[in-house]
Homo-oligomer: A and B are copies of this chain.
Amino acid sequence: MEFKEAKNKFVQSWGALGSQWGINKTMAQIHALLMVSNQPVSMEDIMDELQISRGNASMNLRALIDWGIVYKAFKPGERREFFTAEKDLDELAVKISKERSKREIKPALKVLKEVSSIEISGAEDEKHFKEQTGKLYDFVLKADNVLDKITEYRENWLTKLVMKIMS
């Protein structure tokens, strides 16, 4: 396998993976492309390499920037914008975790808190509902806090976590 083929394979696979994780294919592909690029890449080049339209490129780049994992970069003497991806993997993981927590876990917790707080009659099914959603609330809250803690570590948290767990 030579370079171009490998690069293409990586971009395609990363795109497929993205779509299983609630990130759309193009967004993941753009990110993949930027991750393995030495130099900042222009929108033109992205469109060209991924064979996508201008609008698509623009929208997904903006989304990646919103997620905080792609940055605008400027080249001296160049008018147009270039883009780079966050390349530090710890930093990347932290940013993605934070963003997903904010967008998905926090709202879910809100619902769980609400529904687990209903006043119930003595009926068995109502008791069970309240108990089960209550447990779920505690569980998700705890899991979310683990993410927060991890974020505090910043540097190399995964390595450190592995150490702790192995010990």
Which residues of A approach B to under 8 Å, CB–CB?
Answer: 1-3, 6-7, 9-10, 13-14, 17, 19-22, 35-39, 87, 89, 93, 103-104, 107-108, 111-112, 114-115, 118-121, 123-126, 128-129, 132-133, 135-136, 139, 142-143, 145-146, 149-150, 158-159, 161-162, 164-166
Contacts and interface: CB of A to CB of B under 8 A. Distances in A.
Given A13-B111, A111-B13, A159 B142 contact: yes
> What is the predominant secondary structure among interface residues of chain A facing chain B?
helix
Nearest to A128: B38
Nearest to A118: B6
Given A6-B118, A104-B20, A139-B89, A149 B165 contact: yes
A10 B133 contact: yes
Contacts of A7: 115, 129
Contacts of A103: 20
B35 A87 contact: no
Given A36-B132, A114-B6, A145 B162 contact: yes
B38 A118 contact: no
Nearest to A108: B17
Nearest to A92: B139
